[in-house]
């Protein structure tokens, strides 16, 4: 594989970094599938039954990725299993196409717009609440006879104050006869969302399940069936998983279910301790180990709080500097505008933590870069991605 610049991944299984680094046992399962012919329907059924059993769902199937799962889930809520409706999507044959979503949930970490994913599935997004909060009365006002589904995005904003939690969101939607779809792309416990009221939960295989690029749609049997029909005959046709994705997803879930990760957890704790020690004396930085929301796979991460005046650089500038290096040292910078960065140890190879320590130390203060402009605000993430991709186009 041509790789122009090595990446030292302190960010985790981010889509922009290609997702997870896949366990060799999963690679073997994918390789075996690639050399075999199968009836795809039977493969999906067999894998879906086992995945559903593993997470406590009625049914499941594998799709191209979590975003694909969200779109086919929305289409399933609108069209059901009526083949005339299925094959007409995303042009619905009725007006029950609205999907309620809390406004604070509309932007998914990484820059994806949930409203666009809804529209791809034939839905009409209806934002409820404000960017900072959402109460029962906001959601009640958004529910109507035209509502096909409620969409809940798991993540930092879902757990913050001011917005409705999943249980409350689901109870209100169910009282109105509306099913709830949860985007839990980064979870390793999809069953927890079903227990809190989700009718469908969608998760990524290529994040903390450490599998190939794929997503799983799981939950209520009728909705999973309708979503699978969308994958075969409707909006999900361009998003479907191949045999390698299905086999890899199943292998990854099997490894997760076996729970054989104690050695890796210990290694990651040692990496975190070494990074904290290596950066302890850097001026302007407060470096410590913190727990993350992915406690079953990445129990702790490194948090770097940046005092811009003392460090001579803002958190987002520090991350930009290390990413521009060769090798490219990529940190978890989604909260950089709040003045801190994270380093996730889950996908670091032996010796990578030493590169990270050197890169961060080099990026702080004047160094070879010169002083940073501390009055500069971080650029919008979306604009940064567009600019980067424009640069790739210019190289062609």
Q: pTM for the full model?
A: 0.85
* Look-up of token digits 């509502």: 147
Whole-angstrom Cα distance, residue 58 to residue 41?
17
- Write down the pLDDT at residue 79: 97
pLDDT of residue 186: 85
CA 258 to CA 190: how far, in whole Å?
A: 16
The tens digit of pLDDT for each residue in 309-368 reads: 999 999 999 999 999 999 999 999 988 988 999 999 988 999 999 999 999 999 997 666
CATH code for position 373: 3.90.1150.180
**C-beta of residue 210 within 8 angstroms of C-beta of residue 23:** yes
Say what the pLDDT of residue 50 is: 97
What is the pLDDT at residue 26?
93
Tokens of 315: 């958190």
Average pLDDT over residues 274-286: 95
Same domain, 250 and 274: no
**Residue 220 domain-assigned (yes or no):** yes
Residues 6+ apart with CB under 8 A from 228: 44, 61, 72, 217
Tell me the percentage of the chain whose pLDDT exceeds 90. 69
Last residue of a domain, one of 212, 234, 258: 258
295 has a pLDDT exceeding 90: no
CB distance 254 to 246 below 8 Å = no
Residue that is last in its domain, among 232, 258, 284: 258
Residue 218 has pLDDT above 50, yes or no: yes
Q: Is residue 21 part of a domain?
A: no
Q: Percent of the chain beyond pLDDT 70?
A: 88
Q: What is the pLDDT of residue 162?
A: 81
Backbone torsions φ then ψ of 387, nearest 5 degrees: -65, -40
Q: Does 299 lie in the same domain as 179? A: no
Same domain assignment for residues 284 and 253: no
Provide the pLDDT for residue 297. Answer: 47
334 shares its domain with 389: yes
Same domain, 313 and 245: no
**pLDDT tens digit sequence for 113-145:** 888 999 999 999 999 988 888 899 999 999 999
| pLDDT at site 396 | 47
Q: Is residue 204 part of a domain?
A: yes
Residue 27 inside a domain? The answer is no
Q: Are 85 and 43 found together in one domain?
A: yes
Query: Pick from 327, 328, 312, 326: which is nearest to 363 by CA?
Result: 312
Asked whether residue 219 falls in the same domain as residue 77, the answer is yes
CATH for 125: 3.40.640.10
- Number of domains into which the chain is organized: 2
- Rg for the chain (alpha carbons), in Å? 22
CA pair distance 74, 77, nearest whole angstrom: 5
- Same domain membership, residue 249 and residue 276: no
231 and 372, same domain (yes or no):
no
pLDDT digits (tens, 9 = 90+) for 175-217: 999 999 999 988 889 999 999 999 999 999 998 898 999 999 9
Residues 51, 249 contacting (CB under 8 angstroms): yes
In-domain check, residue 139: yes
Q: What's the CA gap between 290 and 342, in Å, rounded?
A: 9
Query: Is the pLDDT confidence value at 161 over 70?
Result: no
Domain assignment present for residue 235? The answer is: yes
**Of 206, 226, 258, which residue constitutes the final position of a domain?**
258
Residue 192's Cβ-count burial label (10 Å; 0-12, 13-18, 19+) is middle
Q: Given the DSSP bridges, would you call strands 147-153 and 107-108 parallel, antiparallel or unpaired?
A: unpaired
| Contact yes or no for 255/249 (Cβ under 8 A) | no
Same domain, 179 and 190: yes
Q: Where does residue 378 rank: exposed (0-12), middle (13-18), buried (19+ CB within 10 A)?
A: middle
312-328 confidence digits (pLDDT tens): 999 999 999 999 999 99
Specify whether 77 is located in the same domain as 186: yes
The whole-number average pLDDT for the span 43-58 is 96
Residue 31 inside a domain? The answer is no
- For residue 56, being part of any structural domain is answered with yes
| 318: containing domain | 7-14+261-395
* 3-state SS assignment for residue 7: strand
Q: What is the mean pLDDT of the chain?
A: 88
| Residue 194 φ/ψ region, left for φ over 0, alpha for ψ in the -120 to 50 degree band, beta for the rest | alpha
Q: Is 253 in the same domain as 270?
A: no
Note the pLDDT of residue 380.
Answer: 72
């Amino acid at each position: 594989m041509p790789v122009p610049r090595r990446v030292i991944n302190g960010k985790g299984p981010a889509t922009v970094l290609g997702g997870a680094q896949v366990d060799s046992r999963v690679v073997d399962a994918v390789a075996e599938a690639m050399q075999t012919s199968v009836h795809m329907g039977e493969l999906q059924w067999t894998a879906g039954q086992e995945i559903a059993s593993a997470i406590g769902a009625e049914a499941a199937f594998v799709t191209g990725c979590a975003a694909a799962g969200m779109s086919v889930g929305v289409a399933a809520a609108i069209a059901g299993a009526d083949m005339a409706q299925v094959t007409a999507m995303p042009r619905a044959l009725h007006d029950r196409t609205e999907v309620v979503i809390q406004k604070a949930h509309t932007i998914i970490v990484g820059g994806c717009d949930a409203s666009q994913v809804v529209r791809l599935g034939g839905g009409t997004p209806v934002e409820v609440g404000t960017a900072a909060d959402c109460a029962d009365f906001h959601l009640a006002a958004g529910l109507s006879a035209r509502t096909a589904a409620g969409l809940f995005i798991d993540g930092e904003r879902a757990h913050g104050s001011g917005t409705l939690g999943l249980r409350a969101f689901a109870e209100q939607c169910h009282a109105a006869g509306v099913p709830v779809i949860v985007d839990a792309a980064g979870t390793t416990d999809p069953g927890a969302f079903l227990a809190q009221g989700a009718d469908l939960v969608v998760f990524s295989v290529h994040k903390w399940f450490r599998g190939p690029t794929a997503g799983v749609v799981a939950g209520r049997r009728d909705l999973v069936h309708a979503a699978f029909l969308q994958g075969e005959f409707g909006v999900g046709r361009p998003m479907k998983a191949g045999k390698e994705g299905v086999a890899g997803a199943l292998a990854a879930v099997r490894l997760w279910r076996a729970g054989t990760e104690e050695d890796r957890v210990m290694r990651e704790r040692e990496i975190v301790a070494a990074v904290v020690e290596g950066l302890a004396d850097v001026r302007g930085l407060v470096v410590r180990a913190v727990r993350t929301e992915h406690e079953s796979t990445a129990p702790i991460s490194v948090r770097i709080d940046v005092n811009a005046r003392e460090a001579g650089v803002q958190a987002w500038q520090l991350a930009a500097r290390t990413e521009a290096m060769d090798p490219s040292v990529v940190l978890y910078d989604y909260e950089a505008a709040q003045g801190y960065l994270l380093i996730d140890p889950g996908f670091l190879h032996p010796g990578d933590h030493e590169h990270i320590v050197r890169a961060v130390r080099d990026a702080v203060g004047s160094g070879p870069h010169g002083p940073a402009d501390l009055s500069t605000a971080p650029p919008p993430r979306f604009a940064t991605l567009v600019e980067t991709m424009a640069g790739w186009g210019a190289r062609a």
